[in-house]
Amino acid sequence: MIEVLVVDDDARVARVNAAYVEKVPGFHVAGEAHSAAEALRLLETLPRMDLVLMDHYLPDETGLAVVREMRRRGHQTDVIMVTAARDVATVQAAMRHGALQYLVKPFAFAGLRAKLEAYARLRRTLDGGGEAEQAEVDRIFGALSAPADPELPKGHSPTTAALVRQSLMAAEGPLSAQEIADRTGVSRQTAQRYLKLLERTGRARLTLKYGDAGRPEHRYVWATRV
C-alpha cells in the first residue's frame, strides 16, 4: 500500500480528500494534518510516509515552506500539491521544490484519482532500479502523465470500465477474466469484454498461462507492469 498524508487547513476538505484517496486501489491514508506544524510532526512520528497531498494555504506556513523544511530535514517523501493557488509563480516554485504533480481546487474525484494512478505508475516503473537507457528514461518521465480513458464503444459502461481498470492496476500480477469477475462482481463474459478493450487500446497486455492440457489461459496485466 502507498501510505498518504493529507494536509489541508480545512478539516472537512481534508476528510473529503482522504475519502477520495481511500477509494483508489493501492492507497491508504496514514494521517491528516491541518497546519504546517502538524504536517511536520506527523512526518517525524509516523513510521512510513510515501506521499503527501499538500495544500498551499495553511494557517501557520505555506505548503511550499513545509516542502522546503521537509527537504532540509532529509525527508524524501513525494509531494503532490492540492491547492487553490493557481498563480504561475507558485506553480513554478512547486516544480522547483520537487512536487511531482499539481492539482488545482476545486476538483472532482476523477481528477485526484488520475493523479494518484499516475503516481502509482511512476512507482511501479521505478521499482526495477538499475540503469536506464533513453527509452526507459522516457517511460519514467511519461509515467506521470495520466492518459485519458479511451472512448468507450456503444454498450460499454464507464463505471464497469473503471472497476476493471482499477482491479487490474491494483493487482500484483496478471489476472484472468474470472479473477477480474470475482474482484469486481461482474460476469466473466463482461470482464473478458472489457479486458479485450483495454488490450486493444494499449492499456493492458495479454499473457498466456499454459497448463497440462487444453488451451492456454488468457491472463491480463496492466501495461506499465510489462
Annotate 20-41 with three-state secondary structure.
HHHHCCCEEEEEEECCHHHHHH
Q: According to the model, what pLDDT value does residue 224 have?
A: 55
Q: According to the model, what pLDDT value does residue 86 have?
A: 82
What's the pLDDT tens digit per position in 102-158? 988 877 788 888 889 889 888 887 876 667 677 667 666 666 765 545 557 878 888
| Set of cell numbers at residue 42 | 506527523
Helix, strand and coil content of the chain, in percent to the nearest 5, comes to 45, 20, 35
| Set of cell numbers at residue 226 | 510489462
Alpha carbon of residue 83 to chain centroid: 18
Q: Cell match 469484454: residue?
A: 193
Q: Does residue 86 contact residue 104 with C-beta atoms inside 8 Å?
A: yes
- CA angle in degrees (0–180, nearest 5) for 141-48-108: 55
What's the pLDDT tens digit per position in 197-219? 888 877 788 988 876 666 788 99
Q: According to the model, what pLDDT value does residue 14 have?
A: 96
SS (H, E, C) 93-143: HHHHCCCCEEEECCCCHHHHHHHHHHHHHHHHHHCCCCCCCHHHHHHHHHC
Q: Is the pLDDT of residue 225 over 80?
A: no
Q: According to the model, what pLDDT value does residue 148 have?
A: 47
Taking the C-alpha atoms of residue 67 and residue 6, their distance in angstroms, rounded to an integer, is 13
Could you tell me the pTM of the whole model? 0.63
Q: Cell match 478539516: residue?
A: 11
Average pLDDT value for the chain: 86
Average pLDDT estimate for 26-47: 96
Q: Does residue 211 contact residue 193 with C-beta atoms inside 8 Å?
A: no
Q: Is the pLDDT of residue 55 over 90?
A: yes
Q: According to the model, what pLDDT value does residue 212 have?
A: 63
Q: Does residue 4 contact residue 50 with C-beta atoms inside 8 Å?
A: yes
Q: According to the model, what pLDDT value does residue 226 have?
A: 44
Q: In Å, how far are 7, 22, 102, 112, 137 from 30, measured between CA atoms?
A: 11, 10, 21, 17, 31
Taking the C-alpha atoms of residue 134 and residue 196, their distance in angstroms, rounded to an integer, is 30
Taking the C-alpha atoms of residue 8 and residue 14, their distance in angstroms, rounded to an integer, is 5
Exposed, middle or buried by CB within 10 Å (0-12, 13-18, 19+), for 161?
middle
Average pLDDT estimate for 91-104: 88
Average pLDDT estimate for 39-60: 96
What's the pLDDT tens digit per position in 56-92? 999 999 999 999 999 999 999 999 999 988 888 888 8
Q: Is the pLDDT of residue 220 over 50?
A: yes
